Amino acid sequence: MVEITGTGETGLSARYAAALYALAFEKNALNEVVEQMEALGRLIGESPALKALLANPLTNSKTAAPVLNEALTAQGFGELVRHFVQVVVANRRLRDLPALVAGFAAYVARKRGEMVADVTTAHPLTDVQRAQLHARLAEAGYGTVRLTERTDPAILGGLVLKIGSKLFDTSLKSRLNRLNFSLKGAA
């Protein structure tokens, strides 16, 4: 798939993102849709049941569509976001929904002149850590950066930062793997 420069968006997510962005802009609901898509991303990240539903290749789109619509309505999501999810389900792209949500965030950031940095940590970032990370990125020449945060206890500590095409991995897991590799080479 084609990558749009500096965003990490694939062709698929870029098409969906552009369509939703254009529709939200046309309906004068862009800020609302952006906030709701961020909330949808958080909901997917925090709900093991929703993650399992999205990841299951046997999920029937005909039964999933009304259940998802009802759940999103109960959570207060607007018509445009609910319709977006319904289109994703109808196109049998339910497994791609997390990537489509992330692609939309990257598309919006690019439209706003921001860079998106994906940050993975073992534990959620504190406000102080977040501010320090923003300061370090500004020192490195990345002016306006929008953080997309994920937690993954498997990295044990440190962080993995992806900004544009650059990857910075200071995780304890990677350090241990490098140490293990160097010890094997010395033996």
pLDDT recorded at residue 6: 37
What pLDDT does residue 20 have? 95
In a domain, 4, yes or no: no
Rounded CA separation 134/136 (Å): 6
User: Which helix (H) or strand (E) element contains residue 117?
Assistant: strand 115-121
Question: 103 and 48, same structural domain?
Answer: yes
d(CA 109, CA 104): 9
C-alpha distance from residue 5 to each of 2, 96, 113, 151 (Å): 9, 20, 13, 26
What distance in Å separates the CA atoms of residue 132 and residue 128, rounded to the nearest whole number? Answer: 6
Model pLDDT, residue 5: 33
Q: Which of 79, 110, 141 is the last residue of a domain?
A: 110
Asked if 46 and 137 sit in the same domain, the reply is no
Q: Give the structural domain span for 163.
A: 114-186
The verdict on 142 and 83 lying in the same domain is no
Token couple for 156: 């044990």
Whole-prediction pTM: 0.68
Identify whether residues 128 and 159 lie together within a single domain: yes
Q: Residue 154's domain is classified under what CATH number? A: 3.40.30
Same domain, 33 and 95: yes
90 and 34 within one domain = yes
> Are residue 105 and residue 35 in the same domain, yes or no?
yes
Per-residue pLDDT of the chain (187 residues; tens, 9 = 90+): 223 333 345 688 889 999 999 999 999 999 999 999 999 988 888 888 888 888 888 888 888 889 889 989 999 999 999 999 999 999 999 999 998 998 898 899 888 888 888 899 999 889 999 999 999 988 888 878 888 888 888 999 999 999 878 899 999 999 998 898 888 876 5
- Domain annotation covers residue 1: no
Tell me: do 15 and 71 sit in the same domain.
yes
| 3-class secondary structure, 165 | coil
3 located within any domain: no
In a domain? residue 2: no
Tell whether 34 and 88 lie within a shared domain.
yes
Task: Say how far apart CA 81 and CA 61 lie, in whole Å.
Answer: 17
What's the distance, Cα to Cα, between the start and end of the chain in Å? 42
Helices (H), the chain: 11-26, 30-46, 48-55, 61-74, 79-90, 97-111, 127-139, 172-186
Looking at the fold, whether 18 and 97 belong to one and the same domain comes out as yes
Number of domains, the chain: 2
Chosen domain end from 89, 110, 131: 110
Nearest CA to 20 among 97, 75, 72? Answer: 97
Q: Domain check: are 68 and 139 in the same one?
A: no
Predicted local confidence at residue 10, as pLDDT: 61
pLDDT at 100: 93
Sign of CA dihedral 19, 7, 5, 12: negative
87 in a domain, yes or no?
yes
What was the pLDDT predicted at 140? 86
Task: Verify that 106 and 126 share a domain, yes or no.
Answer: no
1: which 2 tokens? Answer: 């798939």
d(CA 88, CA 90) in angstroms, rounded, equals 6
Which CATH number fits the domain that encloses residue 15?
1.10.520.20
